[in-house]
Every structure is written in C-alpha cells, then in structure tokens.
C-alpha cells in the first residue's frame, strides 16, 4: 500500500521519509496554509536531490504559470490539485508531470462516478478528501464515509485522505476497492503544522504491513 505524507516543510524530513520508503511526499504551495513550503525548502537543493519518493506539489486554484514554475524550480514529480481545476488544465499538466485530482466529499449523496468522469482521461490518480462544513477543501482533519467509495467504480488508482491517524490501521486494512492505491496522511502525524512525527509515520507504515 502506498503512503503519501503531505505538508512537508523541512528538507531533512524529506530525507527521513525517503529512508522510510514512503512513496509520496507533499509540498503545499498555497499561501493560506500553515504548511506552505515557500521559503522553507531550498528549491535548488531539492531539484538536485535523488529521492526515490515522488515529490508532490499541492495546489489550490493556482494559476497555470505558477504551477509550471514550481514544477521547474523544485523538480516536482507530481502535482495534486485541490480546487476547481478543469480537465483541460489537468491534461496540459499531465504532459509535464503525473497529476492527482482531489475530490472533496461531504454528507450529500453526490454521484462520485459522475463527478470524476470528466477527469478520467487526463489524470493519473484521484484523492478523496473530506469537504468542510463551509465548503472548503482539505485540511479538515475529519473523515467522510468510506463506504461511498466502495460502491463507486472509479477505475483509477486513488488515495484515501481526511483525518487518518494510527487508530485507523484496522479500518484501512478492511477497506476494499480494486483501485485503492493508498493513504494520504497529514495533520494527525504532526508535532506542529508542517513538522511530522516520524515515529507515528513509521508506526502506521509497519501496522499496515502486518
């Protein structure tokens, strides 16, 4: 099972995650986030690094030029799009890097297959997160009903996200879907915003192997 650790703000922690054989590490490029990586990791140092994990830039309704600049400056392998990005934008970006499109799910019974259909041909992965009460996407620290995904076809590798902690190991192992790729973890694995607790990351990684 793949593990994506999001909200990294320290180069040293990227090295540690790579040493733990984590699969994806997310750098947030959103000015409103307490985990915004801008000014915290040297772009040249990162671009010149030889990590096995995939460096993922996380964006929310950013301009295309800003995403392309970050891809070039930081040597991003993947971009994760949290906003209202169009399929056309995803298609253009997919010529440069792999693309994760995020869909935030609330208590409504929206048709997941219909929601993702326009993106099927232009993205590499999906990520399903929890929609906040105010409609905001991501960063809620809360879960949505995973059973909704079990009923959807999806037919593309996807991540579960939203309030996942080490207490969810059993639930993750019980979750079944032919396209389930892995989990995206963030706030429940922190000492403070942007600083991960590597002992907890190791704990969930080992727990999912058992």
- pTM for this prediction: 0.95
Check residue 163 and give its pLDDT. 92
Calculate mean pLDDT across residues 130-152. 76
Q: Where is pLDDT greater, at 166 or 143?
A: 166
Residue 133 has pLDDT above 80, yes or no: no
Domains of the chain: 2-209 (3.20.20.70)
Determine whether 188 is exposed, middle or buried from the number of CB atoms within 10 Å of its CB (0-12, 13-18, 19+). middle
Calculate mean pLDDT across residues 179-183. 98
Check residue 151 and give its pLDDT. 86
Calculate mean pLDDT across residues 4-12. 98
Residues 115 and 64: their CA atoms lie apart, in Å, by 22
**pLDDT band of 109, cuts 50, 70, 90:** confident
Check residue 165 and give its pLDDT. 97
Q: What percent of the chain has pLDDT above 90?
A: 90
Would you say 57 and 71 are in contact if contact means Cβ atoms under 8 Å apart? yes
């Amino acid at each position: 099972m793949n593990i994506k650790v999001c909200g990294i703000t320290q180069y040293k922690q990227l090295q540690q995650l790579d040493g733990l054989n984590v699969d994806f590490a997310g750098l947030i490029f959103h000015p409103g986030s307490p985990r915004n990586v801008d000014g915290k990791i040297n772009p040249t140092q990162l671009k010149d690094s030889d990590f096995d994990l995939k460096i993922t830039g996380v964006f929310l309704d950013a301009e295309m030029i800003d995403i392309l600049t970050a891809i070039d400056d930081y040597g991003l392998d993947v971009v994760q799009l949290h906003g209202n990005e169009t399929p056309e934008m995803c298609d253009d970006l997919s010529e440069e890097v792999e693309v994760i499109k995020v869909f935030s799910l609330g208590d409504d019974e929206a048709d997941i297959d219909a929601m993702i259909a326009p993106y099927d041909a232009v993205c590499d992965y999906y990520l399903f997160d929890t929609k906040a009460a105010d409609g905001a996407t991501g960063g809620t620290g809360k879960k949505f009903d995973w059973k909704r995904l079990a009923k959807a076809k999806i037919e593309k590798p996807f991540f579960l996200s939203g309030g996942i902690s080490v207490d969810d190991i059993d639930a993750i192992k019980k979750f079944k879907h032919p396209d389930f790729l892995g989990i995206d973890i963030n706030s429940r694995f922190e000492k403070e915003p942007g600083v991960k607790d590597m002992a907890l990351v190791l704990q969930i990684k080992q727990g999912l192997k058992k």
